[in-house]
């Protein structure tokens, strides 16, 4: 398993994984939550989206959403939410 920065070529993958992660909320609310409708291109360009790669297959992501500086460990980032998905 490795983590790597997303590239502009990964935009569709990021969009697909995000939609899959939030699918239960989309069904519950009747419309997609803001993270599903967000344009991730700027986040990717700023280096805020990381992809989890397992054996050459993208298996997850972490984006700038929900991250904030960690006042207890300078230089670290807290990730406020993660979501396991079965398939994108």
Q: What domains lie within the chain, and their CATH numbers? A: 2-79 (3.40.630.30)
The whole-number average pLDDT for the span 81-87 is 59
| The overall pTM is greater than 0.85 | no
In sequence order, the 6+-apart residues with CB closer than 8 A to the CB of 14 are 6, 40, 44, 49, 51, 61, 63
Predicted pLDDT of residue 29: 94
User: What is the Cα–Cα distance from 85 to 83, expressed in whole angstroms?
Assistant: 6
Q: What is the pLDDT of residues 9-49, one digit of tens each?
A: 999 999 999 998 899 999 999 999 988 998 999 989 988 88
Choose between 61 and 70: higher pLDDT. 61
User: What is the Cα–Cα distance from 2 to 60, expressed in whole angstroms?
Assistant: 11
Burial group, residue 71, by CB count within 10 angstroms (0-12, 13-18, 19+): exposed
The whole-number average pLDDT for the span 52-80 is 72
3-state secondary structure of 77: strand
């Amino acid at each position: 398993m490795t983590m790597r920065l997303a590239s502009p070529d990964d935009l569709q993958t990021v969009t697909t994984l995000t939609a899959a992660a939030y699918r239960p909320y989309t069904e519950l609310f009747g419309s997609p939550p803001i993270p599903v409708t967000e344009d991730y291109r700027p986040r990717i360009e700023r280096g805020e989206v990381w992809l989890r790669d397992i054996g050459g297959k993208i298996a997850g992501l972490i984006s700038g959403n929900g991250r904030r500086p960690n006042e207890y460990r300078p230089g670290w980032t807290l990730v406020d939410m993660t979501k396991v998905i079965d398939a994108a």
